[in-house]
């Protein structure tokens, strides 16, 4: 049933509503108690005693009956907010269920018969699912900084800086380098280092050393936050081929051509406003950040009460519950986007200041600067 719902949500078909109506009809037809309890939930049709309604004759009645049946079985519809959102369940079930306490997964399409029209349907469903994932302010304030910035420039502006790093003469083909381009795109810098290190490929050492050099220069020398550093894009440049002569057996030699291409990486410092939206609203937390939080809780390096403050970032389950709570507060008008962002940024900056003070105390041997000066 779950796969059927996902396919129906992607193709926009109405057949899933008929299947769901048939399931609830079985309960209403064979159990008199359920039938008597379902009748008060019928919208504008209290005289109906079952959920059987043909979609060709009256689709609106069928939609309302399906909603009533799910409401009886304990599904909370408070996250929808409007009646149009309720009606959307029958046409796009997978998208509509995102407002409920039900997790939805992406649609799986087999690569066989992957026609262009199927690709368009899948991409349209993905765009709609990503759009529904966002939680934007009700009224946009022009005096506030934007949520998402435009394409960054290669300077230290407030749009976010781009830092360029390059490694030359990599002994990999352009096709292999393109695999690294796809792997590193839009990934956190520390996550990218962990991914390349876990590959355990000797040929990836030049790229791994370049990423470590970028981390050292940006974090240690420039003092940037590692959580806000992500790889904006990367690309490979065509180089030369080196001819190598190898001895095959006695009296026989062969000539091989080894590539020496170049690889470039552009690291971006994400603005703090966009960082808040990705972390707190979308739940796109870097793996290194969530892992460090779980490690600190396990080693008891922080107080147990910190787990409540770190709930929006710890695990996938906690992030999902946090997003569901934000949608509930937003549906009843209790969530102010700009106030929450200002409070989050203020706490984030205070944490950075406290971290720098702790590092300074460690360098000075645990004594403050005033005590050393005295």
Q: What is the pLDDT of residues 213-243, one digit of tens each?
A: 999 999 999 889 999 999 998 999 998 999 9
Q: Residue 357 corresponds to which tokens in the numbers above? A: 């003070």
8 pLDDT higher than 90: no
The domains of the chain are located at 2-133, 162-269, 285-335
CATH number of 162-269: 3.90.470.10
35 pLDDT higher than 50: no
Question: Is the Cβ–Cβ distance between 43 and 62 less than 8 Å?
Answer: no
Q: Which SS3 state, helix, strand or coil, does residue 317 take? A: helix
Least confident stretch, 34-43, 234-243, 343-352? 34-43
32 pLDDT higher than 80: no
Q: What is the pLDDT of residues 81-100, one digit of tens each?
A: 444 444 554 445 444 444 44
Q: How far apart are CA 341 and CA 317, in angstroms?
A: 22
Question: Is the Cβ–Cβ distance between 152 and 161 less than 8 Å?
Answer: yes
User: 128 to each of 9, 117, 123, 233, how far by Cα in Å?
Assistant: 11, 17, 9, 25
Kind and range of the H or E run holding 213: helix 205-215
- Alpha helices by DSSP H, listed for 271-368, are 272-276, 287-298, 306-309, 316-331, 337-363
16 pLDDT higher than 60: no
Q: What is the pLDDT of residues 44-82, one digit of tens each?
A: 343 333 333 344 445 555 555 555 554 444 444 444 444
Q: What is the pLDDT of residues 107-146, one digit of tens each?
A: 565 667 788 888 888 888 888 888 888 888 888 888 888 8
Q: What is the pLDDT of residues 250-294, one digit of tens each?
A: 888 888 888 999 999 999 988 899 999 999 999 999 999 999 999
Q: Would you list the DSSP string of 69-132? A: HHHHTT---TTT-SHHHHHHHHH-HHHHGGGTT----PPP--STT--HHHHHHHHHHHHHHHHH
Which among 207, 219, 202, 196 has a CA at the least distance from the CA of 166? 207
pLDDT at 367: 52
Measured torsion, CA atoms of residues 178, 182, 184, 186, in degrees rounded to the nearest 10: 140
Cα Rg, the chain, nearest whole Å: 28
Cβ partners under 8 Å of residue 107, min gap 6: 6, 7, 9, 10, 94, 122, 125
Question: Is the Cβ–Cβ distance between 245 and 268 less than 8 Å?
Answer: no
Q: What is the pLDDT of residues 141-194, one digit of tens each?
A: 888 888 877 655 554 544 557 899 999 989 999 999 999 999 999 899 999 999
pLDDT at 251: 81
């Amino acid at each position: 049933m779950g796969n059927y719902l996902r396919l129906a949500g992607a193709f926009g078909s109405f057949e899933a509503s008929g299947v769901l109506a048939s399931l609830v009809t079985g309960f209403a037809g064979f159990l008199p108690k359920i039938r008597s309890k379902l009748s008060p939930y019928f919208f504008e049709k209290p005289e109906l005693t079952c959920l059987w309604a043909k979609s060709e004759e009256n689709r609106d009645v069928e939609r309302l009956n399906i909603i009533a049946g799910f409401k009886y079985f304990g599904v909370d519809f408070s996250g929808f907010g409007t009646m149009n959102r309720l009606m959307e369940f029958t046409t796009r079930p997978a998208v509509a269920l995102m407002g409920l306490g039900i997790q939805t997964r992406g649609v799986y399409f087999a690569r066989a018969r992957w026609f262009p029209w199927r690709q368009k349907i899948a991409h349209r469903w993905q765009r709609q699912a990503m759009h529904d994932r966002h939680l934007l302010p009700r009224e946009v304030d022009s005096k506030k900084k934007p949520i998402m910035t435009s394409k960054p420039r290669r300077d230290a502006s407030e749009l976010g800086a781009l830092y360029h790093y390059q490694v030359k003469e990599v002994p990999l083909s352009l096709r292999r380098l393109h695999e690294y381009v796809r792997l590193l795109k839009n990934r956190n810098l520390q996550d990218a280092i962990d991914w390349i290190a876990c590959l355990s490929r000797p040929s990836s050492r030049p790229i791994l050393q370049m990423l470590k050099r970028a981390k050292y220069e940006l974090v240690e020398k420039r003092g940037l936050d590692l959580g806000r550093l992500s790889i904006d894009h990367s690309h490979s440049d065509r180089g030369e081929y080196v001819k190598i002569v190898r001895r095959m057996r006695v009296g026989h030699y062969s000539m091989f051509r080894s590539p020496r291409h170049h690889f470039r990486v552009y690291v971006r410092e994400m603005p703090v406003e966009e960082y808040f939206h990705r972390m707190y609203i979308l739940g796109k937390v870097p793996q290194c950040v969530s892992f460090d939080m779980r490690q600190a809780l396990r080693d008891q390096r922080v107080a147990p009460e910190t787990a409540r403050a770190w709930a929006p970032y710890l695990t996938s389950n906690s992030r999902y519950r946090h997003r569901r709570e934000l949608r509930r507060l937003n549906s009843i008008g209790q969530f102010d986007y700009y106030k929450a962002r200002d409070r989050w940024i203020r706490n984030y900056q205070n944490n950075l200041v406290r971290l720098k003070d702790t590092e300074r105390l460690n360098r000075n041997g645990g004594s403050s600067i005033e005590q050393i000066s005295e």
